[in-house]
Amino acid sequence: MDEVRLSVDIEHRLNEFHLQVRFVAGSETLVLFGASGAGKTTTLNAIAGLVRPNSGEIRLDEQVFFRQGGEGPRCYLAARHRNVGYVFQHYALFPHLTALDNVAFPLRDRRNRRNKASELLEKMALTHLADRYPAELSGGQQQRVAIARALAAEPKVLLLDEPFSALDLALRQRFQQDLRRLQEEMGLVILYVTHNLDDAFAVGHRLAVLQDGQVRQIGPVEEVFRNPVDREVAGIMGIRNFFRARVVEATPEGLLLDWDGLQLLAPRQPSLSHDVVALYIRPEDIKIVYPDRPLSDAVQRNQVSGTIAVHQRRAEGHILHIDLPNGHEVEMRFADYAYAPLDLRLGEQIQLSLRPEGLVVLQPPTGGQ
- Domain with residue 343: its CATH number is 2.40.50.100
> Is 208 a member of any domain?
yes
> Is 369 a member of any domain?
no
Q: End of a domain among 219, 236, 253?
A: 236
Same domain, 322 and 216: no
H or E element, residue 151:
helix 139-152
Neighbours of 228 (CB within 10 A): 22
Same domain, 169 and 317: no
pLDDT band for position 368 (cuts 50, 70, 90): very low
Same domain, 167 and 203: yes
Give the pLDDT of residue 11.
Answer: 97
Determine contact, residues 327/321, Cβ cutoff 8 Å: no
Say whether pLDDT at 328 is over 80.
yes
The CATH number linked to 19 is 3.40.50.300
Give the pLDDT of residue 295.
Answer: 73
Same domain, 224 and 246: no
Give the pLDDT of residue 355.
Answer: 92
> Is 29 a member of any domain?
yes
- Which of 153, 168, 176 minimizes the C-alpha distance to 106? 153
- Give the mean model confidence (pLDDT) for residues 44-60: 96
Total structural domains within the chain: 2
Q: Could you tell me which residue, 264 or 109, shows the higher pLDDT?
A: 264
- Give the mean model confidence (pLDDT) for residues 265-269: 88
- Which of 214, 256, 188 minimizes the C-alpha distance to 30? 188
Give the pLDDT of residue 366.
Answer: 37
- Read off the pLDDT of residues 282-300 as tens digits, 9 standing for 90 and up: 899 999 998 877 777 767 8
Same domain, 170 and 292: no
> One-letter amino acid identity for 252?
P
List, in order, residues 6 or more apart from 182 with CB less than 8 Å away: 147, 151, 188
Same domain, 336 and 256: yes
Q: End of a domain among 217, 236, 255?
A: 236
Say whether pLDDT at 316 is over 50.
yes
Determine contact, residues 363/274, Cβ cutoff 8 Å: yes
- Give the mean model confidence (pLDDT) for residues 248-254: 89
Neighbours of 223 (CB within 10 A): 13
Separation of alpha carbons 82 and 322, rounded Å: 53
H or E element, residue 268:
none
Same domain, 314 and 269: yes
Q: Could you tell me which residue, 191 or 202, shows the higher pLDDT?
A: 191
> Is 226 a member of any domain?
yes
- Give the mean model confidence (pLDDT) for residues 139-166: 87
- Which of 208, 162, 200 minimizes the C-alpha distance to 32? 208
> One-letter amino acid identity for 4?
V
Q: End of a domain among 236, 252, 283?
A: 236
Same domain, 199 and 293: no
> Is 193 a member of any domain?
yes
> Is 88 a member of any domain?
no
Low-confidence winner among 136-150, 154-168, 184-198, 306-320 (lowest mean pLDDT): 154-168
Same domain, 300 and 252: yes
pLDDT band for position 18 (cuts 50, 70, 90): very high
Give the pLDDT of residue 39.
Answer: 95
Same domain, 38 and 182: yes
Burial of 67-91, coded b for 16+ CB within 10 Å and e otherwise, reads bbeeeeeeeebeeeebebbbbbeeb
pLDDT band for position 235 (cuts 50, 70, 90): confident
> Is 134 a member of any domain?
no
Separation of alpha carbons 73 and 52, rounded Å: 16
Same domain, 37 and 182: yes
Same domain, 66 and 214: yes
Separation of alpha carbons 259 and 324, rounded Å: 11
- Which of 45, 40, 38, 74 minimizes the C-alpha distance to 57? 74
Q: Could you tell me which residue, 366 or 245, shows the higher pLDDT?
A: 245
* Rg, Å, the chain Cα set: 25
- Which of 72, 56, 73 minimizes the C-alpha distance to 7? 56
> Is 307 a member of any domain?
yes
Give the structural domain span for 299: 242-362
What pTM, to 2 d.p., does this model score? 0.77
